[in-house]
Chains A and B, each alone.
Chain A
Amino acid sequence: MEVLFDIPILGFVLQFIAYLIEAVTTTNLAPQTLQLATPIALGALCGIMNERSGIVNIGIEGMMLTAAFVGFMVAMLVHEAMPQSEPTAIFGFTPALVIGILAAIGAGMLVSALHAWLCVTVRADQIISGTVINIIALGLTGYLNRLIQPTGSAGTLDPFRPPEFLVDLPVVGWIFRMFLAVGPITMSVIVFVIILQILLFRSRWGLRTRAVGEHPRAADTVGIDVLKLRYRNVILGGIFAGLAGAWLTLEFNQSFQNGMTANRGFIALAAVIFGRWTPIGAFGGALLFMFSEALGIAIRSNPPEGDLGVFLSGIQAAYPSLYNNAFGAMPYLLTLIVLAGVVGRSVAPAAVGRPYVKEGAS
């Protein structure tokens, strides 16, 4: 293998692959990727719930942010009321954290209900509705955060600690670390993705949802209540946005900052498109985007060795800031390339973005 590293260009590629393998198997790149992908994947599930039933949702960012805020504040208040409660041995659940998560989910559902009302009942433009949600969420959480100036915290959920022998297994140990050495919300993502994927394509709910997203009138004529289904799906989708928010303030971190979602809701949207509106595909997209982010962090702090490393450090010496930013820009660039169709065209549910008017109603 090493011999091949000297070949021009191909050598670089091979060195890079070797670096990747090394990084994935020996560092915590894998668990970190899954963690960073969690809010993206959850946001994407929210997007899929909406868009599969024909509602565009560009307000995921705002839904997440609201949920993060509400979840954090509620958890903090409960924690102050009962500071003594013992966290559970696994995951470190406390009443405060559990109630906080529920509150975050509730907040996600509430904002989603607003979106559903605007899109389904009011028949407002769906893109405006999402924009409004983003703007209000940013303003309102910022306003309240400054007013309340929270100083406390309810702490965070703990990652699971898988048995040592699993993690230490040669070759596959990193897989266990990736999927097990993480917190409960991160872990739940995999479960949600699989469940939703199965439900979408195997269950009655999934069949009806897909039909409503493609051809609502056809669904209507076989007795499916299109509006009700859209309401239900959009509001249920809020659960995922809520969990994503809870992940931000109750699992991965333990405080709230203004605008802390930092575009994650929008990357989630891109993951939906990337995954062609399937949960598994979107999850893959989230992993890909966030792998590039995690890898960027890794390469900068632990550059590869050999020619590749020499090459990279040459660039770094000449253009340190551009070099740095190139890695930071990677998820966005990747998203853009993916959108521009390098992975092939992806077609949205046919009825997405169009309000449904029942026949005979005016």
Chain B
Amino acid sequence: MTQTVSAPALEMRGITKRYPGVVANDGIDLEIRPGEIHALLGENGAGKSTLMNILYGLATPDAGEILLDDTAVTIAGPADAIARGISMVHQHFMLVPVLSVADNILLGEETMANPIFLDRREAHRRIVDLGKRFGFDIDPEMKVESLSVGWQQRVEILKALYRDARILVLDEPTAVLTPQETKDIFLVLQRLADEGHSIIFISHKLFEVLEIADRITVIRRGQVVGTRIPSETNEDDLAELMVGRNVQLVVDRGESHPAEPALTVNDLRVTDDRGQESVKGVSFEVRAGEIFGIAGVAGNGQEELVEALTGLRSPTAGQVSVAGKDVTRHGPRALQQAGMSFVPGDRHRFGLVLSFPLEDNLILTQYDEAPYSRGMVRNDAAIRAWAKQAIAEYDIRTPSATVTAGTLSGGNQQKAVVAREFSRKLTTLILDQPTRGLDVGSIEFIHRQVVAKRDAGAAILLVSAELDEVLELSDRVAVMYRGEIVAVVDGPTAEREDIGLLMATGRRGAAAEAALVAATHVTGPGVEA
């Protein structure tokens, strides 16, 4: 992977972008050579996406300039960027689910039979050829919504290739992929680079970056803090660059003292929105005073499992009981009364009403209980008193209890949800991605609260796509793969690699390695399990 040094294909100089309250990019310099895979590394919120949005014309920089082949250019918008040979695979897929693969690829760059009508036949031919060139067979007629995320990722890449991109930006393309799918994508990227394309690869997974990149640029708080070559660096070095200090962010979780089972799940089956069974007979129990973590690549049924456990989705079969009481198919209300608390993964969708005052959000799940209501009437004094207490206790940074929740920062919003859910009388606590998108300080705070709750005797179910979080907190870890729990291991002694393999293949050891090899040869879009 050595690279002859040549003139840069792209240069970004002194890029600065301010958003209200943050300097997302602060004088960033970046240089990309032809045929290079260049990784951008940085924590959440470091400014990676912002920089790429500027390159792609989605945001205008406050200062700085962009040079393509040594010529300064102004990129007015995505159309302009595409015309200049820049394509981008966004952090969140930019695919239209109800359209076919071909239509998604064509969109904006249509192959025309005449000035009005599309030439779908020609387009199909080109798409199939292109796919073959990079090692995959794809049916252009399939609806994107029926594809697995891995295949959607490939469609995104095809979209870029179809536009003859010279510079391809991939913003966290591997976040939702299994290690196997990641490998496949890496093969494609490598082949692209070999053909002379420049690739900007964004990630905060260190080992991936070390595997694929020719050069690595690390961004911290909007500034470039260093550029490295993989052969001259290692994970520790990169981590320190990224975070700015020698990090070993592990909470001292102490000993757990599990007691009797508080949450029992028996052969639970759940169907997703598309009518497919995505939880296929899951059984486990969580005991009072322990943290039971569920690891798994996103999309393996965890979401449906959590929804079924919290009453947001009705399971098709199986039983759930809380503290010995059967609560199968009980709604959220009944579950709360049975002693369950739930921190939802999507706080904007479920956890908060952004247009309501903070104080109302702090009683969102207790509004009809004493002392917050007397009969049918709200008790505003009690609500306000509790809000004051919660703000102090949970360190929620807010001007007052009456500002709307939408004006709080993400971390403080999450603290409000945690304050509300942790403060009620509970026996069982379900945490879905409790620290997603939060800064380090908030994560630490919430982790400490979780451990405290466990020590107070709560049964805690922790679901997270962040394997590190699961390993850090859990007393026992279950791995979910294609709707099933494929293994339950002891938390403190669990091996990261072992769990990673389980997540990727559902198998362990040699069997898993064999599965990985077999999977490499699978072609054709796999419909999501």
Contacts and interface: CB of A to CB of B under 8 A. Distances in A.
A350 B97 CA distance: 10
B45 to A, nearest CB: 16
A135 interface: no
A40 B91 CA distance: 43
B85 to A, nearest CB: 13
Contacts of A210: 96, 98-99
A199 B118 CA distance: 10
A170 interface: no
B157 to A, nearest CB: 14
Interface in B53-102: 53, 56, 58-60, 77-83, 88, 90, 93-99
Nearest to B159: A222
B160 to A, nearest CB: 10
A30 B221 CA distance: 71
Interface string B20-34: 100000000000000
B94 A222 contact: yes
A204 B159 contact: no
Interface in B330-355: none
| Interface SS, B side | loop
Nearest to B83: A223
A211 B112 contact: no
A85 to B, nearest CB: 36
B58 A218 contact: no
Nearest to A351: B96
B116 A203 contact: yes
B78 A207 contact: no
Interface in B187-204: none
Contacts of B78: 220-223
A215 interface: yes
B109 interface: yes
Nearest to B110: A204
A217 interface: yes
B94 A359 contact: no
B95 A218 contact: yes
Nearest to A198: B117
Contacts of B90: 221
Nearest to A222: B108
A360 interface: yes
Interface residues of B, number: 34
Interface string B29-60: 00000000000000000000000010010111
Contacts of A211: 96, 99, 103, 107
Contact of B118 (A204, A214, A221, A360): A204
Given A207-B103, A207-B118, A221 B94 contact: yes
Given A222-B78, A223-B82, A215 B94 contact: yes
B363 interface: no
Contacts of A230: none
B95 A202 contact: no
A204 B112 contact: yes
B450 interface: no
Contact of B107 (A207, A360, A362): A207
A23 interface: no
B106 interface: yes
Nearest to B92: A217
Given A204-B118, A360-B53, A221 B88 contact: yes
Interface string A345-362: 000001000000011101
B147 to A, nearest CB: 15
B103 A221 contact: no
B77 A359 contact: no
Contacts of B116: 199, 203-205
Contacts of B93: 218
B58 A359 contact: yes
Given A204-B116, A221-B90, A214 B110 contact: no
B95 A360 contact: no
A223 B110 contact: no
Most A CB atoms within 10 A — which of B20, B90, B95, B116? Answer: B116
A20 to B, nearest CB: 37
Contacts of A79: none
Nearest to B77: A223
A219 interface: yes
A330 interface: no
Contacts of A202: 117-118
Contacts of A359: 53, 58-59
A204 B116 CA distance: 6
B110 A221 contact: no
Nearest to A360: B59
A224 interface: yes
Contacts of A222: 78-79, 82, 94, 107-109, 159
Contacts of B117: 202-204
Nearest to B80: A223
A177 interface: no
- Which of B98, B106, B108 has most chain A Cβ within 10 Å? B108
A15 B95 CA distance: 53
A115 interface: no
28 contacts: A199-B116, A202-B118, A203-B116, A203-B117, A204-B110, A204-B116, A207-B110, A207-B118, A208-B107, A210-B96, A210-B98, A211-B96, A211-B103, A214-B96, A214-B98, A215-B94, A217-B94, A218-B93, A221-B78, A222-B82, A222-B94, A222-B107, A223-B79, A223-B83, A350-B98, A359-B59, A360-B53, A360-B58
Given A204-B112, A219-B96, 5 more contacts: A210-B99, A219-B107, A223-B83, A358-B58, A360-B59
